[in-house]
């Protein structure tokens, strides 16, 4: 089932790349963004844009959390390299990606493979999805979040 605005987000309870507990619902508005891979151009642009605008997003009551299938070790290096000030979740078995419906068949150079569809879910304090951004502008992503 594809998640839609108004659906309850899948329940999450896990440890982020900093060793802190993360949960949905969290009692906070959450920008939960799924991205394909650490240190790739689009993913780096997206993370840096969110990081540069983190104060204004937090002023609107949002917490920002990124998810990819990379390891926590990769996330730690990625965060350090770009001074990212928000948590990243490691989803190597793509359980979160599947639960949120973003583990999809992709194609590159004529080859089919499974991967993460870059998608952002805006989740309210009670764990309800209030927006889904599927056409992510990686360089200006924070301006897409309301």
Q: Which residues are catalytic?
A: 43
Dihedral, 3, 98, 16, 145 alpha carbons, nearest 10 = -30
**The token pair that represents 118 in the structure block:** 């870059």
Report d(CA 132, CA 80) in Å as an integer.
Answer: 28
């Amino acid at each position: 089932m594809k998640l839609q605005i108004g659906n309850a987000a899948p329940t999450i309870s896990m440890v982020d790349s900093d060793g802190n507990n993360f949960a949905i619902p969290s009692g906070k508005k959450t920008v939960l963004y799924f991205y394909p891979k650490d240190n790739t151009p689009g993913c780096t642009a997206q993370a840096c844009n969110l990081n540069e605008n983190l104060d204004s997003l937090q002023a609107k009551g949002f917490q920002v959390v990124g998810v990819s299938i990379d390891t926590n070790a990769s996330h730690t290096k990625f965060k350090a390299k770009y001074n990212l000030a928000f948590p990243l979740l490691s989803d190597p078995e793509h359980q979160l990606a599947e639960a949120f419906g973003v583990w999809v068949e992709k194609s590159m150079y004529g080859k089919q493979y499974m991967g993460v569809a870059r998608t952002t879910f805006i989740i309210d304090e009670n764990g309800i999805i209030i927006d889904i951004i599927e056409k992510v502008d990686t360089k200006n992503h924070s301006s897409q979040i309301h």
